[in-house]
Amino acid sequence: MGESTGDFATATSADFATDVESAITYLKTREEVDKTKIGLVGHSEGGLMAPMVASRSSDVAFIVLLAGPGVPGDQLLLSQQRLIGIAMGTSDEILQENQATNKEIFEIVKQSKNLEQLKADLTSFITKLIVENPSEEQPTGMSNEEFVVLQVEQIATPWMRNFISFDPTPVLEKVKCPVLALNGEKDLQVAPNENLEGIKNALERGGNRKVRIKELAGLNHLFQESETGSPREYGSLEETFSPVALKEISNWIWEQLK
């Protein structure tokens, strides 16, 4: 613990996937572990990494995707921002403005060749936005220049650049092991309809028929029973993880191990 020489600040989902591969390699050295029954359960971003590992390793016996992405990163984030905005009562006008701005930002990210170019392009774009919209509120005590730098630093990271540009479809098409994909009905971060459909379609195109897809009623992104699904509720909910979801997962895993 704490002895890794890796640099988390520059790491991406692909780097985390190699960490998972290292964990599998270690498990295979343990005498008490059945090497033919090692599976992966990935939540949210983990739902990107599990297919990465399973698509290139026959050591993975099955994968469970909990709120895993089934659409490209930029599409997922736009949906997430819109749904959370609606839940927070944001007006349609502001939602549309934010969507338009973020689409442009994500396109800049996808077209960038390296981080330095990305930082320069984002600095230019966000500065132009501020000039054209002087009435927009800035954080108290922060100059326009400081605000631009803050925004650029949040977006121009290796992880964000990778996530926005990443399409899970080609990876999912290569997964041949059994797959269980679950989403909460009230998940506002990884919308169940489009993401479960994306996962299902990609696996089918790859010829994988050992697939179960299910949306669980009333659950949020963290698989808690919730009222609205808003991230604002997460910390106030007593339930840590739905027993219904746990039963779905455990029953399915037992089926794979028979």
CA–CA separation, 63 vs 81, rounded Å? 28
The pLDDT confidence band at residue 135, using thresholds 50, 70 and 90, is: low
Per-residue pLDDT at 221: 98
In this prediction the pTM is 0.93
Q: Where are the domains of the chain?
A: 8-71+167-257, 87-165
- Judge whether residue 137 has pLDDT over 70: no
Q: What is the DSSP string of 159-179?
A: HHHHHHH--SHHHHTT--S-E
Mean pLDDT value across residues 202-220: 97
The pLDDT confidence band at residue 258, using thresholds 50, 70 and 90, is: confident
- Judge whether residue 253 has pLDDT over 70: yes
CA–CA separation, 50 vs 59, rounded Å? 12
Please choose, from the candidates 159, 157, 98, the residue with its C-alpha nearest in 3D space to the C-alpha of residue 129.
98
CA–CA separation, 63 vs 50, rounded Å? 7
Q: What is the DSSP string of 61-118?
A: -EEEEES---S-HHHHHHHHHHHHHHHTT--HHHHHHHHHHHHHHHHHHHH-SSHHHH
Residue type, 160: M
- Judge whether residue 2 has pLDDT over 70: yes
Residue 131, burial from CB neighbour count under 10 angstroms (0-12, 13-18, 19+): exposed
DSSP state of 207: T
Q: Which CATH superfamily is domain 8-71+167-257 in?
A: Alpha/Beta hydrolase fold, catalytic domain (3.40.50.1820)
State the chain's mean pLDDT as an integer. 94
- Residues contacting 205, CB < 8 A, separation 6+: 173
| Range with the poorest average pLDDT among 1-10, 54-63, 171-180 | 1-10
Residue type, 164: I
